[in-house]
């Protein structure tokens, strides 16, 4: 018995090896080649009958898994109507985001969902969308900037101990922004995430490791930022006494590495579902029990750890430059998928621009370059799949902001609030965002506010037009 004979029966990949192993056992038991081939065809025709045990159990399990994966690829028809889902802050959400969420709730793999009050139109799943699926992961349900996240470091310093000019110099020296940017090699730094074995697990990851190493400790364009400001803690919490502290707040993701992972696996997902309704094209999914699904899950989680490593280096550099050790730290990721128990089922919960908010879980919800951000504690609301907003959310697209907002009005807004801005574009102006106070008011049953962060010196990438 050899692999060619097994392949002729129609066995694929891992099943061929398992079939050969079982055939050897049956051959040693005295069966002829013809008898073994007949048995293998019987297992192939009805693997469920062989799952309970015996020499063909492993083969049957693999065939059953492959059959389920093929069925998932075929079952790409959308539900005729969306599953019901809850919406927070409906009066703040544009119709396009609701339309996108409706399509996501029609996917055959969808089981539950929710829309946060900062929601606005994205690619595939709207920004601010929370989607629970069964047995499958959606690359664009996670997003292009995999692992995009927030980090706050509370420093044991009085806010007045650092002047705006000093803060500006520190940010210029110790942060970098923009597509493709990196630190000089001698200043780049290192992190344990770059030495994980996972990079060698896939050709794609091996190919991208160099880019990831080059861009470690930097931030992208758009709404990514690093800023000094004042943390106001009204009562003792976070292991700190009530009071005001100097703090650093950053928003960063997985850089070019995460974007290439997202696009690569989205193409694979779309190839698996060629007949998927065009409205759901960017919501193509990967079965988690498939090779593609497992590869994406591995790459996604690596990108999430890499994004957190960028924060590690940013905050470590700034704290070291100030000669202090942070007194407290809070962080959260808002572009990932998590395995989560929902009711009686184990599901995959995608949070694309949404913050995990399990009961007691700390998180961060920023406003804009000149509006406050907040440290929050989750309330574990089941209807929201234990989630909250990830920020204020855009009320104006980038092009609309660049074309309609006046530079003098944005500068006046910054001056009124005493904010020094390095970089930043009209497309990221505070007026392009919803009022963070309104967004928080719509989710009082999702999170409680612990502390307020007021930005003072902000660095961002240069946008479509400098502010």
Residue 174 annotated among the catalytic residues of the structure:
no
124 among the known binding-site residues? no
CB 450 within 8 A of CB 237: yes
458 among the known binding-site residues? no
327 among the known binding-site residues? no
List 120, 273, 315, 390, catalytic entry: 390
76 among the known binding-site residues? no
- How far apart CA 302 and CA 146 sit, in angstroms, is 9
- How far apart CA 15 and CA 7 sit, in angstroms, is 9
223 among the known binding-site residues? yes
130 among the known binding-site residues? no
150 among the known binding-site residues? no
- How far apart CA 117 and CA 256 sit, in angstroms, is 29
Of 232, 240, 229, 89, residue with least CA distance to 171: 229
241 among the known binding-site residues? no
Coil vs helix vs strand at 11: coil
Where do the H-state alpha helices sit in 274-395?
A: 291-322
CB 466 within 8 A of CB 424: yes
- How far apart CA 434 and CA 92 sit, in angstroms, is 8
How does 77-115 read in b/e, with b if 16+ C-beta sit within 10 Å?
ebeeebeebebbbeebbeeebbebbbbbbbbebbbbbbb
220 among the known binding-site residues? no
350 among the known binding-site residues? no
Helix (H) or strand (E) holding 101: helix 95-104
237 among the known binding-site residues? no
366 among the known binding-site residues? yes
The annotation places the binding site for GMP at: 223-227, 334-335, 366-369, 390-393
The annotation places the binding site for Mn(2+) at: 145, 224, 251, 334
Q: Which residues are catalytic?
A: 390
The annotation places the binding site at: 145, 223-227, 251, 334-335, 366-369, 390-393
């Amino acid at each position: 018995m050899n692999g060619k004979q097994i392949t002729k029966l129609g066995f694929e990949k891992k099943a061929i090896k398992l079939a050969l192993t079982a055939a050897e056992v049956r051959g040693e038991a005295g069966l002829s080649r013809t008898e073994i081939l007949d048995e293998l065809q019987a297992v192939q025709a009805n693997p469920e009958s062989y799952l309970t045990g015996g020499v063909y159990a492993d083969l049957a399990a693999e065939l059953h898994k492959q059959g389920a994966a093929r069925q998932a690829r075929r079952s790409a028809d959308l539900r005729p109507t969306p599953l019901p889902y809850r919406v927070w802050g409906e009066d703040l959400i544009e119709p396009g985001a609701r339309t996108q969420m409706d399509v996501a709730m029609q996917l055959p793999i969808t089981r539950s969902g929710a829309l946060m009050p900062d929601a606005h139109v994205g690619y595939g799943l709207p920004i601010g969308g929370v989607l629970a699926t069964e047995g499958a992961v959606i690359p664009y349900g996670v997003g292009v900037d995999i692992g995009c996240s927030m980090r706050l470091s509370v420093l044991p310093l009085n806010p007045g101990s650092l002047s705006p000019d000093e803060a500006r110099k520190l940010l210029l020296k110790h942060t970098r922004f923009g597509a493709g940017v990196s630190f000089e090699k001698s200043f780049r730094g290192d992190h344990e995430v770059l030495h994980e074995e996972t990079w060698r697990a896939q050709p794609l990851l091996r190919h991208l490791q160099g880019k990831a190493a080059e861009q470690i400790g930097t931030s992208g364009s758009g709404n990514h930022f690093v800023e000094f400001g004042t943390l106001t803690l009204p009562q003792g919490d976070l292991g700190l006494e009530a009071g005001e502290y100097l703090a650093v707040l950053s928003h960063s993701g997985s850089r070019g590495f995460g974007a290439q992972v997202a696009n690569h696996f989205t193409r694979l997902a779309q190839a698996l579902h060629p007949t998927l309704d065009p409205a759901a094209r960017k919501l193509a999914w990967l079965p988690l029990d498939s090779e593609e699904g497992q590869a994406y899950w591995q790459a996604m989680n690596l990108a999430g750890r890499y994004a957190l490593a960028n924060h590690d280096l940013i905050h470590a550099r700034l704290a070291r430059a100030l000669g202090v050790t942070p007194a407290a730290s809070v962080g959260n990721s808002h572009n990932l998928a998590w395995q989560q128990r929902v009711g009686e089922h184990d599901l995959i919960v995608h949070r694309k621009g949404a913050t995990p908010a399990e009961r007691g879980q700390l998180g961060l919800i920023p406003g804009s370059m000149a509006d406050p951000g907040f440290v929050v504690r989750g309330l574990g609301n089941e209807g929201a799949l234990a989630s909250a907003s990830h920020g204020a959310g855009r009320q104006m697209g980038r092009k609309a902001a660049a074309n309609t907002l006046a530079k003098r009005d944005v500068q006046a807004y910054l001056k009124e609030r005493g904010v020094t801005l390095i970089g930043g574009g009209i497309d990221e102006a505070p007026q392009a965002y919803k009022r963070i106070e309104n967004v928080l008011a719509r989710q009082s049953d999702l999170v409680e506010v612990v502390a307020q962060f007021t930005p003072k010196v902000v660095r961002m990438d240069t946008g479509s037009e400098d502010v």
